[in-house]
Structure 1
Amino acid sequence: MSSLPITYLEHSQLFELRTSKTSYLFGIRPNGSVQHVYWGEQVEASECGYRLKNRGHSSFDAEVNREIEEFGGWGGCNYAEPGLKATFQDGVRDLKLAFANFEIPSDDELVVHLADDHYSLRVEVHYRVIAEHDLIERYVTVVNEEEHPVRIEQVMAAIWSVQGQRDYRLTHVTGRWAGEYQLRETMLSEGKKVLESRRGFTGPHANPWFAIDNGKADEASGKVWFGALGWSGNWKIVAEKTTFGHVRIVGGINDFDGSFVLQPGTAYTSPVFVGGYTSGGFGEMSRLLHGYQHDHVIPTDKLRKVLYNSWEATEFEVTVQGQLELARRAAKLGVERFVVDDGWFGARHSDRAGLGDWQVNAEKFPNGLQELIDEVKELGMEFGIWVEPESVNPDSDLFRRHPEWVYQFPTREGTQLRNQLLLNLGLPEVKAFVLDFMTELLSSYDISFIKWDMNRTVTEPGVHPRYQQAGESVWIKHVQHVYEIWAELRRRFPHVEFETCAGGGARIDLGMLRYADQAWISDNTDARDRLSIQEGFTYAYSPAVMMCWVTESPHGFNGRSLPMSYRFHSSMMGGLGIGANIRHWSPEEMAEAKRYVELYKEIRATVLQGSLYRLESLRYSNTAAYQYLSQDRKESVVFTFLQSQHFGAEERHLQLQGLDAGVKYEVTIDEQELLVLHGSNLMHVGLPLQLRGDYGSKLIRLKAIQ
């Protein structure tokens, strides 16, 4: 049994990718196709070569093995969702990809080369083993060495195969604006379940993450196969159960309206699709993904600053005096970053005008923006600001100068969403405009934080005839330029932190998180609604990037009234922000909020850098509980929530996880009740859940006694 991350067993034509706890096997069949063999607990790979034998059923299913191809094209007897579909210059639409060779560029990287048996079209299937997190990164590069262009109709980043289960359950998230990341479970029957976005960005209605189990896994146990695609535009994940008991998960850039021409001598590289396996249930799945994001995806390990955002207090009524008043109040709470939202620029008095004119409004800031920035810094806070660079109001100087810069079809009037059109960021001059004005803004002012928003989907994705470039995909180009702009801004301004926002959580994925320090996951800031949104979010993404705000009660979305303790506890489970109109808070409310901010700063490292255990969920019970455990397991924080009081309800005991059984822990509940208990008792006997009243909540802290 090899201990190397990548091993090729020549006698059996097998590759093994080995992580800390798993084996991933595939091999080369005699006909040259590359077939998946096994994915799960570590095994002896040398004994698995027999699984490469040919399997047929009838003339209707002549090559059952193609259902579990590691990567293959549409052609011949392949009727499953293909990895690649192409049309050659002569009209041939059939691909016959076969193994050519392989290389191992480094200890943890493998590249398998496939080639068509007639045309000079090659596919490089890339693997990178993330051993410590039991994950494998995959992507493909398609190389056109023909003398003529090749039209790519569909190209997926990876195909994952799950076999050997009697039943297959798909877990994913769905939602809409203000209700993102709602968890769903679907038992798969024969056929396809498609998760996708056709809206130009990741989208609030689905997210490119999946989990497969046999229907019996839970938070703490059970076999789970899972993956997440890193792409911030149109994407597609297809979970296809065949009649022969296989499930294949195919994912990549959405082929809908997405074909493009690959010119001779050029190559296309897909986004990364990472996948993993665990026998530790959905909780361990999430912790593996979170650790991977900390170590390999998120651009910084800085702790999130406590921020105040002025939007809900002022909306578009931004003035220097109003912002200064809010900043002074925010500083008294212990806020570390003050953020001015929409309304500071151009003729921006509503959402009907000014978007695209990124000059400071002289009426609102007669002495410029620096007056506000200087006082914010004197108050001990950093300064941040909101932008929406990809959109434009028709009522703006930018649109009047460059109406040809928006997406448009010549015979159609562009759809206005939120009274705005979308700039064609794929155009080099539009990309340059965005990069130039952002560079000028960040060079002119001492800004430490950018909230980058996008408040509309893509519509009428046409290009003005003057800018038509045959063969390019406008969908792909837009996202590539977003990435390039963010990468360049990070290079030019390494001290600035960036937040991804798209009307809330509509552009969050492993592609965007390579450039964003934090994410605004929903415009819904109701603390009860946020529990469901945040729980679904953490199945795939780390709390380290999850921003959560304390806002008004009653809440403007649903009229629900919640105590300040509940609102803060809900918002302390990620990066803490405050968005309420704090000018209206009483001295008592200000004092209570200040205490919570101070408490958050004490536990922040554990919350943002520790391991998350979802102990109880409101999906299944009347209570919710979430535990964060520090990396050294010496400190832990538990947030507990009660939906509503029920007469005669049984006393519940909360069994914690991840502690050292033989270690004693000092336990405090809401900074008052003090207990000393062994880790073994805390994990197996548990703590009594002493929650009373509707929307009760408590914060429990544990510290190991040396």
Structure 2
Amino acid sequence: MRQNSSPNPPMVERGTSWRLDGNAITLVFVAAGRDEIDLAYLGPRLPEGEDLSALVAAGHFSRHENEPDDPRIGGLLPQARDGYRGRPAFQIRSGEQALHCDFQLVNVEADGPQMIAMWVEKSSGLQVDLHWKIVDARTIEVTTHLVANDVGDIILEAASSLAMPLPRQFSHMTAFHGRWAREMQATTSRIGPQAIEMRSANGKPGFDAGNWLIFHGDDGQKDGGECLGIHASSCGDHLAHVIQDQDGRACLSIEALRQPGGIALNAGDTADLGQVTLILGENRDHLTQLFHDHVRTHILPQRSDWGSRKVHLNSWEALAFDLDEAKLKTLASAAADLGIERFVLDDGWFKGRRSDDAGLGDWQVDKAIFPGGLTPLIDHVQGLDMDFGLWVEPEMVSPDSDLYRAHPDWCLHDDLADRPTERNQLVLDLSREDAFAYIHDALAALLDNHDIAYLKWDHNRRLFPDNGLQQFAIQRLLGKLRQNYPAVEIESCSSGGGRVSFAMLEHCHRIWPSDNNDPIERLRIMESWARFLPLEILGNHVGPSPNPITGRRTDMNFRAKVALFGHMGVETNPAAMSEDERAVLRAHVALYKQWRDVLHQGDFRQLHHSETGIHGQMVVSGERALAMVAQTGFAENFNVAPIRLPGLNADALYNVTLPKPWPQKASTYLSDPERWESGMTLSGRVLAERGLALPLTHPETAWLIAIEEKG
């Protein structure tokens, strides 16, 4: 290791400040001490003549009796030295020897909306380039780049993608955790002296600890107040840590977890630690709209060129592994009769796949099921004016497969340990060039030889062991396929919502929020996902009744209305429905087509109600808006409080209708059914301030509200 072989680099003078401006926000950083940069201000845009030295002084506390003479504050690159006892940004070792890091600030460049700060670690020469950039009116992207200058072999045991002091107005944090079939459960905590740690594991950040955070100034029960949303965009594991010191200063760090043994760096190596996105909203609804705008503008591939989002029918809940060409053609014909626009063949179509015990990795059409290949089925589907989609799980391999028998070392494994399976499968190590080329060529052959418009890309098994490289190989594979097959849409599924991030969405057109289609569960799951992601990429399907996961029976009217708010699909067998159910579903598919441009282009907001069982959503696009309100429980009062619909032009007049089909029991309580059907003229102010009195007493009741401005 290099030991102080060069003079100390120049230090930035204490008190030096840097101002970054976006259209609606300002960041102010200040050199706070030896090699420390502090965040002095994050908020609405400041006046041009703001005195930054006065701003810094006005927010600075003097030293009290029980702290070092020159207190360490950590700042944007906290390190364990000189009395600082927070979480350090980096932990490094050389061989078995831990290094006492001494990162020295050598340069800061700030211009307009961005700042790049550079530190060099004194003994190892490791260079850290920290880049803060305002990219939208209120959106910030933070990236950290490492350069191994003059380094011997070192290991990064911990490395932060983001470290920052939290502005004091944010006293609470809402995090999102979950499990399979119950994703994105919101938990609000008060930031205090007990450290809060959220860690994901095994390559599924959406289950153990969702990589989405909201910081705010209240207990999360109301919508008011400024809030800061944060997303760690890698598609691998991460750790988020919040700790408040004894003086009340709270700091956040987010680390992208790599190999269990750390990140090995040799002289000349470079590494990126993943991007973290921060968005500052005036309130939660504003934060949601800012996230939606950012995703549509900066993340989704060629979003402006997308056409209308087609209604799906997926074969899984209808047929599972009980497949043959005749059954699939019958199912496709029934789907077309409902108005479905895309038919997706799920698991079970490839060689040796009669159950989940075998076949993954052998991505060739099973001739025993499809003697003529997939083409006759695709021709039948397209003859019904639908396009064709296919399920794949390319990252996995079954021990009972030709691929595994030929290449048993292509899976992630430890040579000295057993190879435990999950769902009877292992994970292909796609960081290997031979395995990568095999999977890429197998998928390319499917796409070259068949007219496939859509891939449902699944990822069911967790990554254990994990070499830390899989996530980068997946992004590379998806990027290559998107480049070569730009017309093919890709859905990202990972046992539902187990792997959702901007890093995945840069290559995909849709996510599968959960394997759970129970409409009551889906209302909560979709409510959480929609805080961050727009409806057009959130697959939302009408499932069977009883639901295969919860066992709950629900009315078709209720299931269809819930599924309409998202990218609508159907995952059940129309032949198992009554004619009345098919008619109700057909009518809702038609409503979705009528309103999807509003749902998928407009401004989304949650509708807040005092009744805990009521969930509401509304999307406003120009002169039209569509809302859905649903009751999951049994209301305390028979006449629940009116549904208020904010976000419209207060002085405009609107025609307000309740689109049919209506919930059967609840419709008997409408005060004037004919008028609700033909339309009432109401101002935007009345809709926002007084609202609509709707029958929402009984469980599993849902209403659609159509709102159209009058000329």
Q: What's the TM-score once normalised by structure 1's chain length?
A: 0.91
* Aligned partner of residue 206 in structure 2, secondary structure: coil
Alpha-carbon deviation of 1:212? 1.4
Mapped pair 1:664 → 2:649: no
Answer yes or no: is the 8 Å Cα contact 1:76–1:94 preserved in 2.
no
Q: Which of residues 313, 332, 343 is equivalent to 1:338? A: 343
Name the structure 2 match of 1:464: none
Q: Which 10-residue stretch deviates more, 403-412 or 634-643?
A: 403-412
Name the structure 2 match of 1:628: 619
Alpha-carbon deviation of 1:53? 6.7
C-alpha spacing 1:694/1:431, structure 2 compared with 1 (3 Å): same
C-alpha spacing 1:59/1:150, structure 2 compared with 1 (3 Å): farther
Q: Which of residues 361, 370, 373 is equivalent to 1:368? A: 373
Output the CA distance in 2 between the equivalents of 1:162 and 1:291: 24
Answer yes or no: is the 8 Å Cα contact 1:352–1:419 preserved in 2.
yes
* Aligned partner of residue 326 in structure 1, secondary structure: helix
Mapped pair 1:97 → 2:103: yes
Q: Which 10-residue stretch deviates more, 385-394 or 237-246?
A: 237-246
Mapped pair 1:266 → 2:273: no
Q: Which of residues 352, 364, 373 is equivalent to 1:359? A: 364
C-alpha spacing 1:362/1:526, structure 2 compared with 1 (3 Å): same
C-alpha spacing 1:98/1:48, structure 2 compared with 1 (3 Å): farther
Output the CA distance in 2 between the equivalents of 1:559 and 1:88: 55
Output the CA distance in 2 between the equivalents of 1:246 and 1:692: 46
Output the CA distance in 1 between the equivalents of 2:282 and 2:256: 29
Write the mapping of 1:162-177 to structure 2, written as runs, cut at 5 A: 162-165=166-169, 168-177=171-180
Name the structure 2 match of 1:485: 477
* Aligned partner of residue 372 in structure 1, secondary structure: helix
Write the mapping of 1:592-607 to structure 2, written as runs, cut at 5 A: 592-607=584-599
Name the structure 1 match of 2:7: none
Name the structure 2 match of 1:6: none
* Aligned partner of residue 270 in structure 1, secondary structure: strand
Mapped pair 1:112 → 2:103: no
Q: Which of residues 221, 237, 242 is equivalent to 1:239? A: 242
User: Residue type of the partner of 1:140?
Assistant: T
Q: Which of residues 395, 406, 411 is equivalent to 1:390? A: 395
Mapped pair 1:79 → 2:85: yes
Alpha-carbon deviation of 1:541? 2.3
Mapped pair 1:640 → 2:644: no
C-alpha spacing 1:114/1:367, structure 2 compared with 1 (3 Å): same
Output the CA distance in 1 between the equivalents of 2:439 and 2:62: 55
Alpha-carbon deviation of 1:308? 0.6
Answer yes or no: is the 8 Å Cα contact 1:504–1:521 preserved in 2.
yes
Q: Which 10-residue stretch deviates more, 675-684 or 31-40?
A: 31-40
C-alpha spacing 1:217/1:17, structure 2 compared with 1 (3 Å): farther
Q: Which 10-residue stretch deviates more, 55-64 or 585-594?
A: 55-64
C-alpha spacing 1:258/1:285, structure 2 compared with 1 (3 Å): farther
Q: Which of residues 14, 32, 48 is equivalent to 2:55? A: 48
User: Residue type of the partner of 1:430?
Assistant: A
* Aligned partner of residue 373 in structure 2, secondary structure: coil
* Aligned partner of residue 220 in structure 1, secondary structure: coil
User: Residue type of the partner of 1:202?
Assistant: P
User: Residue type of the partner of 1:488?
Assistant: K
Name the structure 1 match of 2:544: 552
Alpha-carbon deviation of 1:90? 9.9
Output the CA distance in 2 between the equivalents of 1:230 and 1:325: 42
Mapped pair 1:314 → 2:306: no
Q: Which of residues 8, 29, 32 is equivalent to 2:32? A: 29
Alpha-carbon deviation of 1:92? 5.7
Answer yes or no: is the 8 Å Cα contact 1:283–1:614 preserved in 2.
yes
Output the CA distance in 2 between the equivalents of 1:645 and 1:234: 40
Answer yes or no: is the 8 Å Cα contact 1:615–1:624 preserved in 2.
yes
Name the structure 2 match of 1:294: 296
Task: State percent identity of aligned pairs.
Answer: 26
* Aligned partner of residue 580 in structure 2, secondary structure: helix
Alpha-carbon deviation of 1:361? 0.3
Answer yes or no: is the 8 Å Cα contact 1:163–1:245 preserved in 2.
no
User: Residue type of the partner of 1:577?
Assistant: G
CA-to-aligned-CA distance 1:556-586 (integer Å, 9 cap, x gap) = 2223221111101111111001001112223
Output the CA distance in 1 between the equivalents of 2:687 and 2:517: 32
Name the structure 2 match of 1:465: none
Output the CA distance in 2 between the equivalents of 1:35 and 1:645: 51
C-alpha spacing 1:23/1:60, structure 2 compared with 1 (3 Å): same
Alpha-carbon deviation of 1:427? 1.6
The gaps in structure 1 that reach 5 residues or longer are: 1-8, 462-473
Alpha-carbon deviation of 1:147? 4.4
Answer yes or no: is the 8 Å Cα contact 1:252–1:273 preserved in 2.
no
User: Residue type of the partner of 2:647?
Assistant: G
Name the structure 1 match of 2:145: 141
Q: CA RMSD in A?
A: 2.3
Output the CA distance in 1 between the equivalents of 2:637 and 2:177: 35
Mapped pair 1:447 → 2:438: no
Output the CA distance in 1 between the equivalents of 2:409 and 2:174: 43
Mapped pair 1:121 → 2:112: no
Write the mapping of 1:107-256 to structure 2, written as runs, cut at 5 A: 107-132=112-137, 134-165=138-169, 168-216=171-219, 220-254=223-257
C-alpha spacing 1:52/1:64, structure 2 compared with 1 (3 Å): farther
Output the CA distance in 1 between the equivalents of 2:223 and 2:65: 42
C-alpha spacing 1:637/1:258, structure 2 compared with 1 (3 Å): farther
* Aligned partner of residue 305 in structure 1, secondary structure: coil
* Aligned partner of residue 681 in structure 2, secondary structure: strand
Alpha-carbon deviation of 1:123? 0.9
CA-to-aligned-CA distance 1:354-395 (integer Å, 9 cap, x gap) = 111111000100011111111111111111000011111111
Alpha-carbon deviation of 1:118? 4.6
CA-to-aligned-CA distance 1:286-325 (integer Å, 9 cap, x gap) = 1111111111111142242211100011111121111111
C-alpha spacing 1:147/1:251, structure 2 compared with 1 (3 Å): closer
Write the mapping of 1:536-547 to structure 2, written as runs, cut at 5 A: 536-547=528-539
Q: Which 10-residue stretch deviates more, 416-425 or 516-525?
A: 416-425
Mapped pair 1:275 → 2:275: no
Answer yes or no: is the 8 Å Cα contact 2:188–2:219 preserved in 1.
no
C-alpha spacing 1:645/1:98, structure 2 compared with 1 (3 Å): same
Answer yes or no: is the 8 Å Cα contact 1:196–1:208 preserved in 2.
no
Output the CA distance in 2 between the equivalents of 1:690 and 1:673: 18
User: Residue type of the partner of 1:662?
Assistant: D
Name the structure 2 match of 1:425: 430
Alpha-carbon deviation of 1:218? 5.1
User: Residue type of the partner of 1:40?
Assistant: G
Mapped pair 1:523 → 2:515: yes
Name the structure 1 match of 2:565: 573
Output the CA distance in 2 between the equivalents of 1:452 and 1:74: 43
C-alpha spacing 1:636/1:515, structure 2 compared with 1 (3 Å): same
C-alpha spacing 1:276/1:63, structure 2 compared with 1 (3 Å): farther
User: Residue type of the partner of 1:50?
Assistant: A
CA-to-aligned-CA distance 1:59-113 (integer Å, 9 cap, x gap) = 865654424x022344443321222222347946122223322335x75433222
* Aligned partner of residue 382 in structure 2, secondary structure: helix
Alpha-carbon deviation of 1:537? 1.3
Output the CA distance in 1 between the equivalents of 2:636 and 2:280: 42
Name the structure 2 match of 1:514: 506
Write the mapping of 1:320-331 to structure 2, written as runs, cut at 5 A: 320-331=325-336
* Aligned partner of residue 279 in structure 2, secondary structure: strand
* Aligned partner of residue 569 in structure 1, secondary structure: helix
* Aligned partner of residue 248 in structure 1, secondary structure: strand
The gaps in structure 2 that reach 5 residues or longer are: 1-11, 661-676
* Aligned partner of residue 318 in structure 1, secondary structure: coil
Answer yes or no: is the 8 Å Cα contact 2:640–2:697 preserved in 1.
no
